[in-house]
Each structure stands twice: as structure tokens, then as C-alpha cells.
Amino acid sequence: MAKDYYGILGVSREADDGEIKRAYRKLARELHPDVNPDAETQARFQDVKNAYEVLTDPQKRRIVDLGGDPLDTSRGGGGGAGGFSSAGFGGLGDIMDAFFGAAGATGGRGPRSRVQPGEDALIRIDLTLEECATGVARDLTVDTAVLCEKCHGGGAEPGTRTETCDTCDGRGEIQNVQRSFIGQVVTARACPVCRGTGEIIPSPCSQCGGDGRVRSRRTVTVQVPAGVGDGMRIRMANQGEVGPGGGPAGDLYIEVSEERHDYFTRDGVDLHCHVSLPMTAAALGTTLPQRTLEGEEELTIEPGTQPNTTLTLRGRGMPRLRSTGRTDGRGDLLVHLDVQVPDRLDSRQTELLRELAELRGEERPELAAHRNGLFGRRRSGGRTR
């Protein structure tokens, strides 16, 4: 007569794996030979161990449900019940399962969800220096996975639904129980039919093929804040790829590629430019129209300005972008003055320069060595406005 394995564990015939495992753990703690070494308890512990082995194996459990006994060798069942055992003591795998909840330390993980989070997406945009300074709104065309409108991410054709996988009985994995000299060893692998989800789609959606998402080209508007720079990324939450099974979308990142400017050079929040200045203007002083991001303004050149002088225009640089996306002040514009010395002079210009040199006492080379060039002593390298 076949044993009542359900009755041995004290569970109903509809019990799931979780109920069977909990019942086994409870009885294993009570009946383990290390706790109760008498012979009767050892025999009962062996029955409990065999019942757990049978009811957690899909094939053996089917035999039990059909009225058979997979461990009854006299009727051609599934083999002996003992395996390697010494006086009824279970192996290491049984002890691990009883006290730590994992047979052979490889407990089942259960089915994984068909709904998985989506990946992030990345696109690049080209911006001018002026657009980086003022900020700009751009409409971008992106090609990503979006939610399938026909099945709404479920994957099944409308009017149908998913079903429990017959191969793994909805567990999402297939277990293989082997016995060794240290006891039973349970290994598990993802079910190849349902791919670990525990369910199958008999009638996949004709639009997405059961994936719950489709590729689509759409337009999104990105607001680029003032102060962005080359290589910076702007994050648009939940605008990336929709995940398998209609899972939550990842993020969309917009990477800025700043175009080279024809006049300004950027260094963080500061801007640099070079202005050519005739030597006479540097000596006598003058005013020049100076180009800035906002337009032109007057630049004053003091008399006696030396070569390589840098003038700083405060607050005429780039907006300082904070981590919050807001701006906090602006950088500076540094104007580098390149004093130009003429390389060709006519006779009149030469005569005038010789006269000037004579008046300044610079007509003799040995005197010129003690002076700092044509315009007297060199001033400090930079001035600020």
C-alpha cells in the first residue's frame, strides 16, 4: 500500500511548496536524531525526510497523486528510500534544509516576474556657446521601446491570458535531486520553457509578440538649463526604454556637445578672448568696442598698457550651474591684449621713432638694456573692471 506522504508531513494535497517546506522544517527540528536519538524517532524522521523528497519533486509528486509510491522498489517505483544513511541520520543537505531553509544549501528562488525595469537611453545634442549660456528648449526625436497599446504590457492577445507553465508547475525553475555520500544535493536551474517566469503565453499579442513593448519613434521636449557645458548630461526621468512585460521605463539622458566658438574660448565658467592692440594705442591709451555674450560694450585701455596684459570683465562669463539645475552667479570674461609691433616702417615713421627713442634716451643699446621696452617700466600683468 502506498504511503500517505501528505499525511506524514501533515499538509493537504493542495499544499504548495512553501507549505511543504515549512512543515518539513518544523518536523525536522523536532525529530532530528541529534535532538531525539531513540529508534522510533529516527524511523519517523526518515519518513518525514522521504515525504519531503517526494513532494518537492514534480515527477514523484505526480506518482503520489495518481495513487502510486515512487519509493516503493517492489512495485518498480522510483528507487530506494535510504540512499546513504547511517542509523537513520540524514546527510548534510538535510540538516541545512531543516535548520537554514535550503536543501543542500541551494534553496529555490521561485519564479521571477515577467515585468522587468527598462534600460536607460542616451542621445546627444549640439549646442552653441550662446545656447549653453542662455539655456534653450529643444524638441528631440527618440527611438525607444514603449508600452504596447494593444496588450498594455501583458503580452497576451486581448481576450486571452497567461497560463501556469506545465514544465515547472509555475515555480520558474526545475530542481534536480541527487544523493551523494554527504546526503542529498538539490540543484535548480531556470525553466527553459517559461524562462523562469512560471507562466507561458499561449496566444502572444500580435503587435508585440508577447514582449509587452514595441519600438516607437516619438518627440520629447528637453529644457536645457543655462550654464551647461560640453559632456554634461541632462536626465529625463522615465523617458527611456520601457522594460519587458511593460516594466517601468528607464531614464533618458541628453549629453551636451558644445560647438567651438569663433571668438571665445571657454574654461569652466570663465571666457577668454584675445584682442590685438597697436603699440601706439597701448602707449597712449584708447577705448575699444569689446564683444561679449550680451553684445558690445566699451573697453578702456589705460596709457602705458604693456604686452600680455589681461583685463578682467567681472560677470561677463558663463552662468554658474549648480547641482540643483539652477544658476548661481556668472564667471568672468578675460581679455588678453596682444600688443602689435610693426614689422615694416616707411622713412617718415622710422624718423619719428628714432626721434622718440632719442628723447627717451633709448638710442644707445647699453641704455635700452636698463629699461623695460619702449613704454617704460612694466606694469602688473592684469587689471579688473
Whether 273 has a binding-site annotation, put simply, is no
CA proximity to 172, closest of 200, 201, 189, 197: 197
Please classify residue 70 by burial: count the beta carbons closer than 10 Å to its beta carbon, then call 0-12 exposed, 13-18 middle and 19+ buried.
buried
| Residues 6+ positions from 170 with CB-CB distance below 8 Å | 111, 164, 198, 199
Tell the residue number behind the cell numbers 508547475, with chain if given. 169
| DSSP states along 126-185 | EE-HHHHHH-EEEEEEEEEEEE-TTTTTS-BPTT---EE-TTTTTSSEEEEEEEETTEEE
Q: Are 32 and 90 in contact (CB under 8 A)?
A: yes
Please classify residue 358 by burial: count the beta carbons closer than 10 Å to its beta carbon, then call 0-12 exposed, 13-18 middle and 19+ buried.
exposed
Q: Are 115 and 171 in contact (CB under 8 A)?
A: no
Give the pairing type, strands 252-258 and 233-236. antiparallel
| Residues 6+ positions from 96 with CB-CB distance below 8 Å | 102, 103, 104, 105
Whether 132 has a binding-site annotation, put simply, is no
Whether 165 has a binding-site annotation, put simply, is yes
Cell of 23: 512543515
What is the separation, in whole angstroms, between the first and last Cα of the chain? 104
CA 242, chain centre distance (Å)? 15
Give the CA-trace dihedral at 260, 264, 266, 271, to 10 degrees.
-170
CA distance 302 to 380: 13
The count of other CB atoms within 10 Å of the CB of residue 95 is 16
Binding residues for Zn(2+): 148, 151, 165, 168, 191, 194, 205, 208
Binding residues: 148, 151, 165, 168, 191, 194, 205, 208
